[in-house]
Amino acid sequence: MQLIRFDVYCGRMGSIEGVFVLNERGVKTLNSIVENECEIHFGDVLGKHSDISFEIKPQHYTVVTEDTEKIKVVLEAFGLNSDTNRDYWTLSGINPLDYYDALNPYGCDEE
């Protein structure tokens, strides 16, 4: 498991920020998005007509911790259960996995 901090500066419109937890499948999905240079479309998250989309790069996120016990405590503080069959949990803000469609990956260099 990983606790991730996501932060992308989008110019004068502002920044997209979020904090989320990924299990092993979630980490693999995020790595695949980065490796395949997938473009994620966030829509108007920074206001009307902002229409934000970009490729997720490693500099856009930071792994805060991989300590599973600490992450479980954080999830419990948010009233979330780490034993569920989920790939990720969004704790606050924007999580790019909420905007990624694995069945229809737009802008990926996958064959």
pLDDT tens for residues 29-66?
A: 999 999 988 888 888 999 898 888 899 999 999 999 99
- pLDDT at site 11: 87
Query: Hunting for tokens 């499948």 — which residue is that?
Result: 25
What's the predicted TM-score (pTM) here? 0.87
Name the residue among 73, 89, 78, 96 with its Cα closest to residue 20.
Answer: 89
Residue 101 has pLDDT above 60, yes or no: yes
